[in-house]
């Protein structure tokens, strides 16, 4: 399926999703939200895909949030539909069994923060700002709050939501919102480095491991240990585990079956 506002590429075990609305600061519309969700649903079952990259066109904005131009109907609401397109995307992304990496090429604001929060790791340009400015237009970051309040320290999160003021990339890195901050000219190199460090590892271990981490996230320690006890034997039964052990003993790089 092809879309105008979202570019979808598959190469070297990477599913690359690029928001293609540079003239609108890569603002979100319903087409992008639905297209991104469908792309994940259609491609993640393919075991050749080992990581997802989410990024955007240009150098100024990763995502400015919802499109505020007249007639965009970004905040349209159907009382007969209990689920929104954006929440649907966030749910699918957070249930994804492969890592999702954000390449933050510019400012990340409002709904863009939701895209960032649905990713597992992020590399950002040092010029990027991160913010939740919704209160400046009489709105509130309601949907993205469900994810961000688990990522940002409480007092910092509340400051960002109640003041609407952004933080720098360095500050975002300091509070654990992103993994790496680099000059704009080094963004691709650092992003590709991170993708490479994921792709060359066991895809089966990562898929099963991410599933296990997701399952235990809201459990008590005792519940999580009990669940993990049942999982550890499963890892050892995979073909990847057998290949990994053989490669270790033979002092060579593993060739992962992905099974």
49: Cβ contacts below 8 Å, ≥ 6 apart: 10, 13, 14, 15, 43, 98
The whole-number average pLDDT for the span 228-250 is: 93
The domain locations on the chain are 6-199, 203-249
pTM: 0.93
126-162 per-position pLDDT tens digit? 999 999 999 999 999 999 999 999 999 999 999 999 9
CATH of 6-199, one of 3.40.50.2300, 3.90.226.10, 3.40.50.180, 2.60.40.10: 3.90.226.10
Q: Which residue has the higher pLDDT, 62 or 68?
A: 62
**pLDDT category of residue 3 using cuts at 50, 70 and 90:** confident
241: Cβ contacts below 8 Å, ≥ 6 apart: 202, 204, 205, 235
Torsion of CA 20, 81, 76, 42, to 10 degrees: 0
162-188 per-position pLDDT tens digit? 999 999 999 999 999 999 999 999 999
DSSP 179-226: SEEE-GGGHHHHHHHHHHHHHTS-HHHHHHHHHHHHHHTTS-HHHHHH
């Amino acid at each position: 399926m092809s879309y105008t506002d979202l570019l979808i590429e598959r190469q070297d075990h990477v599913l690359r999703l690029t928001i293609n609305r540079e003239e609108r600061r890569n603002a979100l519309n319903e087409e992008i939200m639905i297209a991104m969700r469908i792309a994940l649903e259609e491609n993640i079952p393919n075991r050749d895909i080992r990581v997802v990259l989410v990024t955007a066109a240009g150098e100024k904005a990763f995502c400015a949030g919802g499109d505020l131009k007249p007639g965009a109907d970004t905040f349209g609401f159907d009382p007969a539909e209990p689920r929104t397109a954006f929440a649907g995307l966030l749910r699918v992304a957070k249930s994804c069994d492969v890592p999702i990496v954000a390449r933050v090429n510019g400012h990340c604001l409002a709904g863009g923060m939701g895209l960032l929060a649905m990713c597992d790791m992020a590399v950002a340009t040092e010029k990027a700002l991160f913010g939740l400015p919704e209160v400046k237009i009489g709105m509130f970051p309601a949907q993205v709050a469900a994810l961000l309040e688990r990522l940002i320290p409480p007092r910092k999160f509340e400051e960002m939501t109640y003041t609407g003021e952004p933080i720098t990339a360095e500050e975002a890195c300091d509070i654990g919102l992103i993994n790496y901050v680099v000059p704009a000219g080094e963004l691709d190199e650092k992003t590709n480095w991170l993708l490479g460090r994921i792709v060359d590892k066991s895809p089966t271990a990562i898929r099963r491991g991410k599933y296990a981490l997701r399952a235990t996230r809201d459990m008590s320690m005792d519940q999580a240990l009990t669940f993990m006890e049942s999982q550890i034997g499963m890892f050892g039964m995979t073909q990847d585990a057998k290949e990994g052990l053989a490669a270790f003993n033979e002092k060579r790089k593993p060739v992962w079956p992905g099974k």
